[in-house]
Each structure stands twice: as structure tokens, then as C-alpha cells.
Amino acid sequence: MEAMYTYDAVKLYAMAADEVLKKNGNIRNGTDIVQTIIQMGKYKSDIQGVMVNMDKNADSEGTNILLAMVNDTKCPGSTRFEQVAHFVVTNDSAIPVSKAIIPY
């Protein structure tokens, strides 16, 4: 589970470093990297497939995914996790809003 966050963090850093280098900046300057990430505002997480929004304080809010354990029809007697809903932070809402009907 932690590997997906590490992947996304490294990718975000690489995207910001690329932008800093395009402006002839110094990627050893952490302030430039963080400011570039903030200016990006939002980015798509490749591993999770969600949009992550970043505010002016570099606080991030992403889409939250709800997983449910369901019976695996391809392998009788087994279970698997399946995405049943996702919650998205909207510009006019401080809390995530459900974008799907959750089956019970």
C-alpha cells in the first residue's frame, strides 16, 4: 500500500524538478521545488488514478476511495477488494462528496 504513495511522491517531485530545470533553476533548492508543486495546483495520481488538489499551503486533498470485500466469482471460495465508491473534494465543499451509489 505504501509503495503507491512513494511512487506518486517521486513522480510529483520529478515533475516539479523538471519544471524548475526548464526555468534554469536549481533542483537542490527545496523552496523552488515546493513552490513549483504549489503552482501546479493539482495533479493526477498514476497509481490510484485520482486527482489530488494542492492549496497555497501545500496541503493536499485527494479523492478517497472506498473498497469492499466481495466474493470473487472467478475463484469460488475466495474474496477480493473492489472499489465501490469514490469521494471527491469539490471547490465549493470542504468535505468529500460521494460520486457513486454504495451497494450494501
Give residue 51's pLDDT: 72
* Beta-sheet strand order (sheet of 97-98): 64-71, 79-88, 97-98
Under a CB-based contact definition with an 8 Å cutoff, are residues 89 and 101 in contact? no
Question: Is the distance from CB of 44 to CB of 38 less than 8 angstroms?
Answer: no
Report in angstroms the alpha-carbon separations of 40 from 4, 33, 64.
20, 11, 20
d(CA 49, CA 65): 10
Q: Write down the pLDDT at residue 98.
A: 58
- How confident is the prediction along the chain (104 residues), in pLDDT tens digits per residue? 567 778 888 888 999 999 999 999 999 999 999 899 888 887 776 666 667 777 787 777 666 777 788 888 888 888 888 877 767 666 555 555 555 555 55
pLDDT score recorded for residue 101: 54
